[in-house]
A and B are shown apart, each in its own frame.
Chain A
Amino acid sequence: ELKVEQNPLFLSMQEGKNYTIYCNYSTTSDRLYWYRQDPGKSLESLFVLLSNGAVKQEGRLMASLDTKARLSTLHITAAVHDLSATYFCAVGLSDTGNQFYFGTGTSLTVIP
């Protein structure tokens, strides 16, 4: 079964700092998704990465995908308090239908 590992699991950072969340997965895939979840809320799609080398940016968040290394990163630039949330990556597999495998999530707290 595909394993998806995120690290760190918990991240506390000061406003204005930069940091990266890592998502490693155990088998070949060319689809990688990033989601945000606020406490007690549903999930919000952030990025869909569909090819090796894909890079997408929205505001202070930038996601990239390296399919050869089986690695995706979510980079946070100049963090602000509003980015405090849990971030999940998910890997998509097409060979057995259309499966999605989630990472454990990274709980991010941005301290003013």
Chain B
Amino acid sequence: DSGVTQTPKHLITATGQRVTLRCSPRSGDLSVYWYQQSLDQGLQFLIQYYNGEERAKGNILERFSAQQFPDLHSELNLSSLELGDSALYFCASSAWDGQETQYFGPGTRLLVL
């Protein structure tokens, strides 16, 4: 158990809909990262938050957004969903800014029908 929790574990929704994925980092960790894993595109870094502020942006679509709240949990919002958004979404946390070990949550499996 990494200490990082993600909810929900599974999500089935329809095209055009909006969903919110939630991540709680390990106690004391200030950074949260979001990643997408799909068969088509492999593992992709989406975005990083550090202590409530956006730190880095990767291959995150404009339809996607994220935030980190004062209690350091994070949410990833996916809107206008398309079939191609079906993937595993992982969050990870680390103590500081990314040059150290990241601890991954169990992931949310999203299926868009």
Give the B-binding residues of A (Cβ under 8 A). Answer: 31, 33, 41-45, 48, 50, 88, 90, 92, 96-102, 104-105
Contact = CB atoms under 8 A, between A and B. Distances in A.
A47 to B, nearest CB: 9
B55 A97 contact: yes
- Kindly state the interface size class of chain B when it binds its partner: 20 to 34
Contact of B42 (A31, A97, A100, A105): A105
B43 A102 contact: yes
B52 interface: no
Given A33-B102, A90-B43, 16 more contacts: A31-B98, A42-B90, A43-B104, A48-B100, A48-B101, A92-B99, A96-B56, A98-B97, A98-B98, A99-B56, A100-B35, A100-B58, A101-B45, A102-B44, A104-B42, A105-B42
Given A97-B55, A98-B56, A99-B56, A42 B105 contact: yes
Contacts, number: 53
Nearest to A46: B101
Contacts of B48: 97-98
29 contacts: A31-B98, A33-B102, A41-B106, A42-B90, A42-B104, A42-B105, A42-B107, A43-B92, A44-B2, A48-B100, A50-B99, A88-B43, A90-B43, A92-B98, A92-B99, A97-B48, A97-B57, A98-B97, A99-B45, A99-B58, A100-B33, A100-B35, A100-B58, A101-B45, A102-B43, A102-B45, A104-B42, A105-B42, A105-B43
Contacts of B43: 88, 90, 102, 105
The 6 closest A-B pairs by CB, nearest first: A97-B56, A98-B56, A102-B43, A100-B45, A43-B104, A42-B104
A100 B33 CA distance: 10
Nearest to B58: A99
